[in-house]
Chain A
Amino acid sequence: MSKTLEKIIGFLLLLATILPVSWQSIIETLKD
């Protein structure tokens, strides 16, 4: 796997995990 592809996948994985849970925390806070 090339270095660039590794970086793209890594970036997407970080984006796909941290961002959704962060937004969910807003929704959960507003629910309360």
Chain B
Amino acid sequence: MNLLGQRPDVGEFRKRYKWLALVAIGLNLVLVGKLAHLQLIRYAENAAIAHDNIVHKVTLATSRGVIRDRNGVVLAASRESWNVYVVPARLDLEKTYPRLAELLGLGPIERATLEVRLREAKRVDLAALKLDPKHRIREIIVREDIARDTASALETHRATLAAVSWISVPLRYYPQKELTFHLLGYVNEVNKEDLASLPEGQKKELQPGDRVGRSGVEKAWEAFLRGQRGWKKVVIDARGNRRTAKEDVALVDAPTEQAPIPGRDVRLNIDADLVAAARKAFAGQLAGAVVAVEVKTGRLLAVYSKPGVDPNDFVTGLSQKQAEAILQNPLSPLTDKTLYEAYFPGSTMKPFHALAALGSGAVTRDSHELCEHVLLLSRTRFKCEGFHGQISMHDAIVRSCNIFFYQLGRKTTLDRMSALDAEFGFGQRGGVGLNHESPGLIPTTAWYMQHYGGFRTGFALNAAIGQGNTKVTVLQLAMAYAALANGGTLFAPQVVQSIETPVTDAGGGGIEQEFPPRMRRKLGVDAGNLEFVKKALLGVVNEEGGTAYKERTNKVVIAGKTGTAQVSRVGQKSGIDPHLIWYFNRDHAWFAGFAPYDDPEIAIAVLVEHGGGGGHNAAPIAMRMFEDWFLRIKPSHAGLPAAPDGKPQPSAMKGPAK
């Protein structure tokens, strides 16, 4: 018994209590130390993680601008589409996946491939999650642009489709399909290179899954059309639910939101009806191009290149089969034949060379030459299509006599002709800013010295009739004929009329920026000479013996010039199907003209690739377009304002036709 009344055998324990107490205190101090570390030393870091856990930045989508024609007809807009996503790490592959596959209507192979992919993604994500709790698990897109009834079927089975989501995304839609393919271009998804090539500071403007313009107006006006996405900070709990109560929103730190800037709408000078008329007129031909331009402004009324493809196919991505069909098509449907490709212009160049000759004084309006079908020049035979005898300049243009123009070329000299060609915009880009416009080629003596090591008079002779090395685009020809028609003013070709604020419930539709006609230059051409040439062009269509006389129309007074351009011969070894070689060796058919003759409004240039004679094959297309324009399209639009007044047509607001 001791003082406390304890039994003596407790003595064995006596020395131990102190140690037990020390161990308890020591271990608790470890806890205190760890707490100090977490709460005091690393407070800022943990507070930041805690904040990021609940406050998330969600992007606010922007909308791509609508492209309309001059009358408000929608050429490119966005339609609703549904994409299906799956979070593999959360997906039940035994129960949910078969149901999903069935609802999506996947074929057996597709179904198996996708399952393998999802299983692998699930395995990888779960493993990564185990190592790093902050690992963000993936969401995989399994199907794009599903049918409307598939989406509603998914909606019906929502309760049984855990880890599956379907999200509405705007998808570009081109209601005119292949008609506007080359003009508008198309959009498709950005790739890694696009994202990597973004300049610093604009990195956030594009994200995987975004679509950007790849060609045509979609590419050239991308900056206006795209808009800028915004963001908003929201509070999301650990279960992924958005919290919107007052005290939740209070946790969001400023700035809380950046509103998205919608893409601007773009209004074109193009008249979709005239483009459709071009397509109709082109129905009997395989390939070619048309450009129609407003004579007094340089605004493009129609551009059409045949064949085209449906740009809608590009938006979601082409199938292997589609891509091969397009790439193997010998008529190169991807090429914009109005301006990317340059062609021998043939006789359509004669009016300009007549002007060059008259301007230089080498020949006069009364000059005659003797056409005996063949001209021998230093053992080379230069041929004419006909046998015209003594022929005047006027008749030489009307009947397209080559011999007259050989002589004219010889007298005028190459450089004087090419100088005037350049005045009219040949050999240079017109500045339309689309689809890598070709400058074409107007050879000079210096050019021959450089490329052929010498100059021969024969070069000038060939150049005079638009052969040899002379190459122009359909667009250049249309602009040059517009300059002839308007009395000598060369305009820049303009596709876009104005940039407009997008139409929303809040209004919009106002013009933000308008593009007035842009004159390139006043041409130094004598007015009398110009009148003389125009009269000859009138004769081409309206005088008996004129090369387009048989195709004339009595409804509109048209002036113009045909052209039949020889093409570079292709042989058996060119890689072209031997059965098609006859076609590719056929001449290009041209017609360029304007109407009405007295007060010209529009100029049209038509090229029918390998169409044969220009009079027979290209002229009728232009004639039909002129007729359509003056008799049908223009009157039907008469009630409409020429330029938008801020109120688009009702049809333009509805979006794509269903």
A binds B: no
